[in-house]
């Protein structure tokens, strides 16, 4: 019930903002009231790429598009969506490029294989080195 009221309030609030020449999205520069939800949103926003900027997350950008995305993220979090679901929705809309947390796919698996390889390599190197030395 509370959520529905919140969403209604947002919808009603929107025309009021729209009277400015360039209305920023309602939650672009506004935090959620519930600090726990805001923290969740913040954590997610820090890992989403601002598509109009160069190497910035949407949490770190003044670009209008980043503001719109922040607003989307906050509203969806307020509506009770899980961060993972929001990320998936954004990836579906904008492609993998939007998420700074790469998924394991047929294209990105080397990103996860390499650390595994490095761990093995480090273990083998150290083992060989000291197995010989202790003889």
Partner 1 sequence: MMAEFGLAALWLAAALAGLQLIAGSLALTSRGQGLAGMVRPVAVVQGALALVAFVVLVVLFCQTDLSVKLVAMNSHSAKPLIYKLAGAWGNHEGSMLLWVTVMGLAGGFVALVEKRLPEPTMLATLAGQAFVSLGFYAFLLVSSNPFERLDPPAAEGQGLNPLLQDMGLAFHPPTLYLGYVGLSVAFSFAIGALITREVGPAFARAMRPWVMGAWIFLTIGITAGSYWAYYELGWGGWWFWDPVENASLMPWLAATALLHSASVLASRNALRAWTVMLGVVAFSMSMVGTFLVRSGILTSVHAFAVDPERGTFILALLAINIGGALTLFALRAATVTEGERFALVSREGALVFNNVMLSAILGIVLFGTLYPLVAEAMGAKVSVGPPYFNPMSAIFFVPMLIVLAVGPLLRWRRDSFARVRLGLLLPALLVVAVAIGLAIVANVGVLPFLGLALAAGLAVASLLPLRGRRLTRTPLAVWGMVVAHFGVAVALFGMASESAFSVEKLVAARVGDTTQAGPWQVKLERIDPVAGPNWTALEAKMTARYGQGAPVEVHPQSRFFWAPPQQTTESALVTRWNGQLYAVLGEEAGGGRWQLRLWWKPFVTFIWYGGLLIALGGLLALLGRTASDIRRFVARGKIAERRMEQGR
* Contact status: 128 vs partner 1 (CB under 8 A): no
* Contact status: 104 vs partner 1 (CB under 8 A): no
Handedness of CA 8, 11, 13, 16 (dihedral sign): negative
Of the candidate residues 8, 9, 80, 102, the single one contacting partner 1 (CB under 8 A): 102
* Contact status: 126 vs partner 1 (CB under 8 A): yes
* Contact status: 90 vs partner 1 (CB under 8 A): no
Token pair listed for 108: 């990105």
Phi and psi, residue 48, nearest 5°: -115, 135
What is the four-CA torsion angle of 102, 106, 107, 112, rounded to 10 degrees? 50
Q: How far is the CB of 1 from partner 1 (least distance, A)?
A: 27
* Contact status: 61 vs partner 1 (CB under 8 A): yes
* Contact status: 47 vs partner 1 (CB under 8 A): yes
Q: In the chain, what's the furthest Cα-to-Cα distance?
A: 81
- Quick note: the x/- pattern for partner 1 over 7-46, rule CB under 8 A, is ----------x-xx---x----xxx----------x---x
Angle at 29 between CA 8 and CA 12, to 5 degrees: 20
Nearer to partner 1, 1 or 39 (CB): 39
């Amino acid at each position: 019930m509370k959520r529905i009221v919140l969403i209604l309030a947002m919808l009603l609030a929107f025309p009021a903002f729209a009277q400015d020449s360039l209305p920023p999205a309602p939650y672009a520069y506004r935090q959620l009231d519930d600090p726990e939800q805001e923290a969740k949103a913040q954590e997610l926003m820090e890992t989403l790429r601002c598509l109009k900027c160069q190497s910035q997350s949407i949490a770190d950008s003044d670009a209008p598009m980043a503001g719109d995305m922040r607003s989307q993220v906050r509203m969806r979090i307020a509506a009770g969506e899980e961060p993972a679901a929001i990320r998936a929705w954004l990836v579906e809309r904008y492609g993998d490029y939007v998420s700074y947390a790469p998924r394991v796919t047929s294209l990105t698996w080397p990103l996860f294989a390499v650390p595994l390889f490095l761990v093995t390599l480090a273990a083998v190197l150290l083992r060989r080195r000291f197995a010989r030395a202790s003889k």
